[in-house]
Amino acid sequence: MTAHIGTVARKEFEDAGRSKLLWALVGLLVGIVVVGYTAIWYTGEDASASEVLGFLGFPLQTIVPIAALIAGYMAVVGERRSGSIKLLLGLPPNRTDVVFGKLLGRLAVVGTAIGLAFLAALVLGAVYFGSVPFVDWLEFAAVTLLFGLAFAGLAVGSSAAVSTRGKSMALVVGVYVIFVVLWELVTAGPYYLVHDEGPPVEAQTWYLVLEQFNPMSAYTTMASNAIEGTVFPFTFQYGLEDFEAAGMTPAERYAGDAPFYLQDWFGVVVLLFWLVVPVAIGYYRFKKADL
């Protein structure tokens, strides 16, 4: 990697601002925070600042992945689509600089939007509710930031791996649908075929490991540990799994002391996995691509 990565990343961030992408994401996430806090304050519900912070868990896990995927899915393939990739590679930046520079630029875009949204939550919590649970706020912000960066990395990796906009869009949409809509079918379906019944509360370890690797579940588990209350994952349920188990973490479903890879903190590893691995695959394919 060379110093040109920073140059590409800086240009990427500036281009996002000029194209209104950054401001659209900021407006979307900050708007969610403002509307949520204002609505709770206006209705006069007797809620603490910590509880109100917890109310953000559901809308954030719904909007942040979509915003991050939109921010990243055209990062590299957009240059190939317009033909400007040949001009860019004719300058000092090489393919490594392009992929990782684009990655850092798009991560900065998503990170800025999430950071400003949580800054708004900090201010509104103090104004409307008179106090700010700073430690909870900081932990929740850090978890949400990593969550958003994971999906941005997934999108940039997809963008680098394919040659057309349509393929990149289909890939990121397909992955998102698997995480949100089809996850129970993908995981509990094979369990049902093998054991002729759905997964019980204390399911086998291999199944719990699969459950752990859904970034939606990893995020909600860590978010629930950071704030007051429980954030339930935004995933479709088809009745293949025990209803009680749907609201439990893999560590809670393990009989005995859970191994490290099923503990709640392992969600950090899961989110880093979805940030790093798709980028590595996309980078490999981009390096081999005939441009």
Residue 186 carries which side chain, given as an amino acid letter? V
What is the chain's pLDDT, residue by residue, as a tens digit (291 residues)? 566 788 888 888 888 777 787 888 888 899 999 988 888 888 866 677 777 888 888 889 999 999 999 988 988 888 777 767 666 666 677 888 888 999 999 999 999 999 999 999 999 888 888 877 888 899 999 999 999 999 999 999 999 999 889 999 999 999 999 999 999 899 888 888 888 888 888 888 888 998 889 999 999 999 988 887 778 888 888 888 877 777 788 898 888 888 999 999 999 999 999 999 999 999 999 888 776
Taking the model in full, what pTM does it have? 0.92
Q: How far from chain centre, in Å, is Cα 138?
A: 17
Neighbours of 86 (CB within 10 A): 11
Following CA atoms 290, 94, 68, 48 in sequence, which dihedral angle do they give, to the nearest 10 degrees?
A: 160
Q: Is 254 strand, coil or helix?
A: coil
Residues ≥6 apart with Cβ < 8 Å to 182: 236
CA-atom Rg of the chain in angstroms: 20
- Cβ(49)–Cβ(148) below 8 Å: no
Query: What per-residue confidence (pLDDT) applies to 44?
Result: 64
**With contact defined as beta carbons under 8 Å apart, do 241 and 198 qualify?**
yes
Pairwise CA distance, residues 152 & 13, whole Å: 14
Contact 75/152 with Cβ under 8 angstroms? no
Phi (first) and psi of residue 44, to 5 degrees: 75, 20
